[in-house]
Amino acid sequence: MNQDIYFDNNATTKVDEKVLEAMMPYLKEDYGNPSSTYFFGKKVKEEIINTKKNIAKLLNAKANEIIFTSCASESNVTAIMNAIKLNPNKKHIITTSIEHVSILETMKYLEKNGYNITYLSVDKFGKIDLEELEHSITNDTCLIAVMLANNELGNIYPIKEIGEIAKRHNILFHCDAVQAVGKIKIDVADMNVDTLSLSGHKIHAPKGIGVLYVKENLPFTPLIFGHQEYNRRGGTENVPYIIGLSKAVEMILDDNYKINDRLFELRNYMESQIKENIEDVIIYGDLNNRLPNTSNIAFNGVKADELLLILESFNIFISTGSACNSELAEPSHVLVACKADLENYSPIRISLSKYNTKEEIDIFVKRLINAVNMLRRKKFEKSK
């Protein structure tokens, strides 16, 4: 039996044991409702306030600017809906064609409801053009929404520069920072963002907990009404998950991003091994400005879905791109936006975490070489 090799950490990550340990007391003993007036609940409320200080530190924000949500999708939708409510007479939004589905589907909904959306194009490396962004701004623009790092390519986007453009034109700016957290230092003040989202399950906390950063004094309308989170997000707080997220953040701060040097080395080692041993390989994305853990790679003539099936039979788990789209069996909107030659070069996405090792990379590359050769041979036989 082969050992499992999990290389799909942009889809989700394993919960860290220390995170789980920190959460357990809040499932077993300290299960009070933070809104209760008696001590059993109140002490939990205190803990939530402490966790906000931790998350704020990660973002260079203030604790009162942190709102807990159920996931980053909720954070993204809340931020967009808030921006449009703040500017009821403005009906134009600028975003990119490579955002996460939670942003793009919200934009589609708004388009059906009278909004005009500009989807910034990307070049073949997935890069956006800031001049195009600035030229797209009109008197009717109420929001710019651009991600900090792309989940499929790993590309990092110039958020500080976009924040400056948004500020100059007095337009709200939302940033989806889900994939960047723990991999790039985030400073909301320096980046000039008004709202920003992150998600627990990409940083070794559980699924089902997210954060929305909302700049102090920005008028705010909740998506879910209720008195929790100072009237900004209704619903009894998911205390154990909030504690887990805070622990995961604390671990990032304690490590001071050092893990990324190791991920960078591992990823580059893997890519060089692949290129040395397999002919006609393409690596998609902005190779000079990528997350250290991500590789989006294609092998001429090899269909990614067939390759993934073979790798899965060896207990190697990777994906063709975004986990949220993979069931649709549609080509990745990100690669389509890059005008990639998906007929001949359909990619797989490998995304590493702190748990991955060089030994796993070596096993993976060996199996990958066999699988690619096998599929290319099969194709050749068929064409005869």
Task: Give catalytic residues, as residue numbers.
Answer: 324
As a residue count, the chain comes to 384
Could you give phi then psi for residue 94, rounded to 5 degrees? -110, 130
**What's at 122, amino acid-wise?**
V
CB of 147 to ligand PLP, least distance (A): 5
Residue 270 as a binder of ligand PLP (CB under 6 A): the answer is no
List, in order, residues 6 or more apart from 59 with CB less than 8 Å away: 66, 186, 187, 188, 196, 213
Residues 349-368, one symbol each (x = binds ligand PLP by CB under 6 A, - = not), give: --------------------
**Ranges within 271-300 binding ligand PLP (CB under 6 A):** none
Q: What span, in angstroms and rounded, lies between the C-alpha atoms of 273 and 270?
A: 5
Residue 178 as a binder of ligand PLP (CB under 6 A): the answer is yes
Q: What span, in angstroms and rounded, lies between the C-alpha atoms of 297 and 84?
A: 38
Q: What span, in angstroms and rounded, lies between the C-alpha atoms of 7 and 264?
A: 14
CB of 267 to ligand PLP, least distance (A): 18
Cα-Cα-Cα-Cα dihedral of 238, 250, 358, 269, to 10°? 110
Residue 179 as a binder of ligand PLP (CB under 6 A): the answer is yes
Token pair recorded at residue 301:
């003539």
User: CB–CB of 263/34 below 8 Å?
Assistant: no
| CB nearer to ligand PLP: pick between 152 and 194 | 152
User: CB–CB of 258/41 below 8 Å?
Assistant: no
| CB nearer to ligand PLP: pick between 184 and 324 | 324
Residue 55 as a binder of ligand PLP (CB under 6 A): the answer is no
CB of 3 to ligand PLP, least distance (A): 26
Selected binder of ligand PLP within 51, 54, 151, 246 (CB under 6 A)? 151
Between the alpha carbon of residue 235 and those of residues 69, 238, 361, the distances in Å are 9, 9, 43
Q: Give the number of other Cβ atoms within 10 Å of residue 149's Cβ.
A: 23
Residue 102 as a binder of ligand PLP (CB under 6 A): the answer is yes
Residue 100 as a binder of ligand PLP (CB under 6 A): the answer is yes
CB of 278 to ligand PLP, least distance (A): 28
Q: What span, in angstroms and rounded, lies between the C-alpha atoms of 279 and 128?
A: 30
| Binding window for ligand PLP (CB under 6 A); candidates: 70-78, 127-135, 271-279, 328-336 | 70-78
Instruction: Return the closest-CA partner of residue 151 out of 9, 258, 339.
Output: 9
List, in order, residues 6 or more apart from 31 with CB less than 8 Å away: 239
CB of 43 to ligand PLP, least distance (A): 28
Percent helix / strand / coil, the chain, rounded to 5? 45, 15, 40
Residues 194-223, one symbol each (x = binds ligand PLP by CB under 6 A, - = not), give: -----x----------x-------------
| CB nearer to ligand PLP: pick between 10 and 372 | 10
Instruction: Using CB under 6 A, count the residues that bind ligand PLP.
Output: 14
- According to DSSP H, which parts of the chain are helical? 17-28, 39-59, 72-86, 101-112, 130-136, 159-168, 188-191, 228-231, 239-255, 259-277, 304-313, 333-337, 358-383
CB of 104 to ligand PLP, least distance (A): 10
Residue 176 as a binder of ligand PLP (CB under 6 A): the answer is yes
Selected binder of ligand PLP within 23, 147, 165, 245 (CB under 6 A)? 147
**Ranges within 310-349 binding ligand PLP (CB under 6 A):** 323-324
| CB nearer to ligand PLP: pick between 9 and 228 | 9
Residue 175 as a binder of ligand PLP (CB under 6 A): the answer is no
| CB nearer to ligand PLP: pick between 141 and 199 | 199
Q: What span, in angstroms and rounded, lies between the C-alpha atoms of 86 and 298?
A: 44
| CB nearer to ligand PLP: pick between 54 and 199 | 199
Catalog residues that contact ligand PLP under the rule CB under 6 A.
71-73, 100, 102, 147, 151, 176, 178-179, 199, 210, 323-324
